[in-house]
Amino acid sequence: MRARVPEKREVAKGTLLVLWLTMTEDASWNGETRRIAPELLSDHLSDDLRSYAYLVAGPPAMADLIGETLHAAAVPEERISADRFKNVS
């Protein structure tokens, strides 16, 4: 899986960083190839990851894993919202 970072912009109350996970074997891919982890977030935001609000959306296992990653980075529970959903066929 590779993280696509298509958009980062300043908004009225802070920074909006949009990350998409995608699976690709495309050799021409020049975007992020790291897992969404504190190091990746710090590279795109700042070192104080606790100061941001996070919305994680995706399959339950992925949302839970990202939530655990944010908790390990000392992000308070009240700064994390998750929308867990299953693929709809």
Q: Is residue 52 part of a domain?
A: yes
**pLDDT number for residue 1:** 46
Q: Is residue 8 part of a domain?
A: yes
Q: Is residue 67 part of a domain?
A: yes
Structurally, the chain folds into a number of domains equal to 1
Supply the range of the domain harboring residue 74.
2-84
Q: What angle do CA 6, 80, 19 make, to 5 degrees?
A: 10
Burial 36-69 (b: 16+ CB within 10 A, else e): bebebbeeebeeebeebeeebebeeebbeebbeb
The pTM assigned to this predicted structure is 0.71
Q: Is residue 89 part of a domain?
A: no
What are the pLDDT tens digits along the chain (89 aa)? 445 554 555 555 566 677 777 767 778 877 777 888 888 888 888 778 898 888 888 889 888 999 999 999 999 999 998 988 887 55
Q: Is residue 13 part of a domain?
A: yes
Q: Is residue 53 part of a domain?
A: yes
Q: Is residue 14 part of a domain?
A: yes
**pLDDT number for residue 13:** 57
